[in-house]
Amino acid sequence: MDADVAVVGVGSIGSLVLWELAGRGVDVIGFERHAPGHDRGGAGGETRLFRLAYSEGAPYIPLLRRARDLWLQLGEESGRRVFEPCGGLTIGAPRQQPILDLQANAAAEDVPIEVLSAGEMADRYPQHRLLDGEIGVFDAGAGMLRCDLAVLAAAQAAQARGARIVPYSSVESITPARDAVHIETADRTWRVRQVVIAAGAWSTQFLPERWASRVEPRRVAVGWYAPRDVAQYRPGAYPVVIRVTHDLFLYGTPTVDDATVKVGGTSQGLAIPDPNSFDRRHSREEIQVARDVVAELFTSLHPEPLRVDAFTDLYTPDQHPVLGHVGDDRRLVVATGGSGRGFKLAPAIAAAAADAVVDGTEAPITFMSPARRVSA
C-alpha cells in the first residue's frame, strides 16, 4: 500500500482534508494537478467572504461556527493570517427574502446581528450608495478569508503533520479493485485503502453517473476596482459585503494589496463544458454591466475594473455541497460541490469528510449527503 488514504485535488477542501487526516494520525497522500495555492480552481482570486449569519439556511450555522474556529486554528498553526475578522454587511430591502431569512436564521441560532438604517449606514459605511428603502444588516462574526494563501497554509500545515503531497500530478483514473483502490497518474499506479475526491469543478469524471450528470462546472467572474481613498476600504473600515439589489447577488471584500478592491456577482456564473479551457477574460458586455453596477452602488470606487478574472466551481442542483460515500464502493468519499459559496465551509466539510473516512460515517452532514434526492 502506498498510503491509507489518497486525496484527489489539494485545493480548498482537499488541503484541509489532508490537514485533518494527518492530524488524526492517518497516513495520507494528496495529488494535485498544479501546486497547492494555485489560482486556477475554486480558490483563485485572493479573497472569499465568510459569513456567520447565513440566509442560505440555519442548519449551516453550527457548521460555520466550527469552520470559523478551524480557520483561526489554521492561522495560528501556520503563522499565516488566513482569516481577517472584519465583520460583514448584507444590504437590501427589508422585505427581500434573503434579508428576512438572514434575520430569521440568526435569531434561530443566536447569532448577534445589527440592523442599520440608511442614515446609520451613511455614517458608518459611506462606501455604499443605498437605494430608497434599503437597509444594512451587520454580522460581527463575518470576515474575509485569504483563499489561495489559506490553501497553501493548509497544505504546508498538513505536511508538517506528516501528510505527503504530490504536486503537478494529475489523477487520470480511480479504480476500486479487490486488494486496494488504484490511482493512475501519468507515471505510475498508486495503491491506497480509501480515496477522498476533492477535485472541485473537475470532479465530474470521478463521480458515479447519478451525480456526474447533475453537477455543473461553472465559470465565475470577478473584477478589481481602484478606490478614490484606499483607507475607506481597509479591513477595519470596510466589512465584507453582500448586496441583494436589483436581481444581483453582489459581493465584495476589503483591499488586500492596498490598491484595489474586489467586487463579484455583477454577472451570473456560466456553465462551462471543460474547466481546463474556458475564457478568463471578460466580454465587453460583462465589463459594461460591471461598470454600471459599480458606478451606481459604490460612492468611491472608480467604476472601470483595473483587473478582471474568472475562476471555477462545481454547482449542485440544490446548491448544497456533496459530502459522503458515493456509488456502491464504501472506499470512495466525495467532498466538493461548493456551488459558489463553499470556501467558508471548507474546514467543516473537510472535518466531516475525515469522519467519513476514519469512522465510516455514512452521511456526516445529512443535507449534503450524496444519497439525498436532487432533481436534474
Ligand X SMILES: Cc1cc2nc3c(=O)[nH]c(=O)nc-3n(C[C@H](O)[C@H](O)[C@H](O)COP(=O)(O)OP(=O)(O)OC[C@H]3O[C@@H](n4cnc5c(N)ncnc54)[C@H](O)[C@@H]3O)c2cc1C
Q: 3-class DSSP state for residue 313?
A: strand
Among 251, 260, 353, 355, binds ligand X (CB under 6 A): 251
- Smallest gap from Cβ 112 to ligand X, in A, equals 20
String of b and e for 217-240 (b: at least 16 CB within 10 Å)?
A: bbbbbbbbbbbeebebbebebbbb
Shortest spacing between CB 123 and ligand X, in angstroms: 26
Binding mask 147-186 for ligand X (x = CB under 6 A): -----------------------xx---------------
The candidate with the shortest Cα–Cα distance to 47, out of 254, 207, 194, is 254
Q: Is 8 a residue that touches ligand X (CB under 6 A)?
A: yes
Identified binder of ligand X from the candidate list 5, 28, 32, 158, rule CB under 6 A:
32
Among 20, 28, 45, 183, binds ligand X (CB under 6 A): 45
Compose the 291-330 pattern: x for residues touching ligand X by CB under 6 A, - for all others. Answer: --------------------xxxx----------------
**Nearest by Cα to 13 from 342, 345, 358, 346:** 346
Task: Give me 299's grid cell.
Answer: 460612492
* Minimum distance from residue 338 beta carbon to ligand X (Å): 2
- Under the binding rule (CB under 6 A), the answer on residue 9 touching ligand X is yes
CA geometry: angle 182, 184, 189, nearest 5 deg? 65
Residue number, 26 or 220, with CB nearest to ligand X:
220
CB 126 within 8 A of CB 299: yes
* 376 close to 317: Cβ distance less than 8 angstroms: yes
Nearer to ligand X, 231 or 274 (CB): 274
Nearer to ligand X, 122 or 170 (CB): 170
Q: Smallest gap, in angstroms, from Cβ of residue 98 to ligand X? A: 15
What lies within 8 Å, CB to CB, of 84 at 6+ separation is 143, 144, 145, 146, 235, 254
Q: Which helix (H) or strand (E) holds 343?
A: none
Binding site for ligand X (CB under 6 A): 8-14, 31-34, 41-43, 45, 48-49, 170-171, 198-200, 202, 220, 222, 251, 264, 311-314, 336, 338, 340-344
